[in-house]
Amino acid sequence: MDSAWSQQASQLLNNDVISAEQFFQLATTDEESGPVQLRMLLGYAQRLPRPQQDPVWHELAAKHLPELVTKFRSDDSGPLTPTARVINVISYTPYFIRFLSTPPARSPSLASLYTHRVSQHSQSLSASSNPDDVAETCQFLATLLLVQGTDDIQKQDKDSLLPVLRQWVKRPAFRGRLASDASERVVWLLTGDRSMAQPLSMVRNHLIAPLEKCSAQGCSKTRANGDLMKCSRCKSALFCTKDHQKLAWGAHKRICFEPVF
C-alpha cells in the first residue's frame, strides 16, 4: 500500500500537481473543497523521499510566506486552518526561521497568536480525540515558541492552555504517540522547565543552524568565528569561503529560491 502511495505521489510531482503554487492556491482558496484537497495532497507529498519534498517546501516558503501569514493571522476558525497546516509543513525551512524575525511575524508574534488560538480551541481538539490533529497543532506551536520565545505570551492564554496540555500528555489514547510527546514539549516551553533546557536548546540550534553556520558539509564555522557570506539569491544560507559555497552548491541549488521578503 505504501509503495502504491509513493508511486502515485511521484507521478503527481512529475505532473506538477505537487508543487509550491498548487499548495499556495489550496491553502488560500475560499472554495469549500480546498481544505479536503489540501489534506489529500499533503498526504501524498509527505510520502515522497525528503530530497523530493525539500524543493517544494523551500520554494513555497520563499515565494509565498508573507501572503500565507497574512491569511493565517486573519483566520481564527481553528488551530488547523489550511494556512496553519501549510505553514507548519514549511516551518523547518531557513526561509521560515528567518521570516520569524521580520516585522510581519511580530507584534504580536506568531507564537503569541497561535498560543491564543490553540487555547481558544483546545476544548474542541480534546473533544475530537484525534491524536494526529493534537500532534500537528502542538508540533507547530512548539516550533514557534522555540524560535520566537514566550515573552509576549498572554498569561491568561498560558493559564488556560497548560491544564489541557497536561491532560493530553497523560491521555491513554495519546500515550506513546507524537500527540503526547509534542504536548509535553509545549508544556516545557510555556513553563520554562529548566530540566529540559539543554534538549530544547539542541532542537532550536538545529532549526537556526542554516542561518548561523557555514552550509558546506563538514564545516563547523559559525558567525561566532567571524563574518560569513550570505547566499545572494536566497539570503537563507551562509558560507565561510567561496570554495565552500561552490562545494555546497550541488545540494544547495535544489532549495535556493529568491524570497519575496
pLDDT tens across 169-179, in order? 999 999 999 99
| Claim to verify: residue 110 and residue 205 sit in the same structural domain | yes
| Claim to verify: residue 218 and residue 164 sit in the same structural domain | no
The per-residue pLDDT for 212 is 97
Task: For 156, list phi and psi in degrees, rounded to 5.
Answer: -65, -35
| Claim to verify: residue 86 and residue 35 sit in the same structural domain | yes
| Claim to verify: residue 149 and residue 203 sit in the same structural domain | yes
Q: How confident is the model at residue 81 (pLDDT cuts 50, 70, 90)?
A: very high
Residue span of the structural domain in which 49 resides:
1-92
Listed residue (207, 213, 163) closest to 187, CA to CA: 163
User: What are the cell numbers at 54?
Assistant: 525539500
The CA angle 114-115-121, to the nearest 5 degrees, is 85
Listed residue (147, 153, 146) closest to 114, CA to CA: 153
pLDDT beyond 70 at 1: no
**Is there a domain that residue 100 lies in?**
no
| Claim to verify: residue 59 and residue 81 sit in the same structural domain | yes
**Is there a domain that residue 99 lies in?**
no
pLDDT above 70 coverage of the chain, percent: 98
Listed residue (106, 50, 54, 72) closest to 234, CA to CA: 54
| Claim to verify: residue 65 and residue 150 sit in the same structural domain | no
| Claim to verify: residue 60 and residue 157 sit in the same structural domain | no
**Is there a domain that residue 97 lies in?**
no
* Number of domains making up the chain: 3
| Claim to verify: residue 54 and residue 84 sit in the same structural domain | yes
Compute the CA torsion angle 92, 93, 96, 98 (nearest 10 deg): 110
The per-residue pLDDT for 172 is 96
| Claim to verify: residue 162 and residue 226 sit in the same structural domain | no
The per-residue pLDDT for 7 is 82
| Claim to verify: residue 180 and residue 244 sit in the same structural domain | no
Q: How confident is the model at residue 2 (pLDDT cuts 50, 70, 90)?
A: low
pLDDT beyond 80 at 3: no
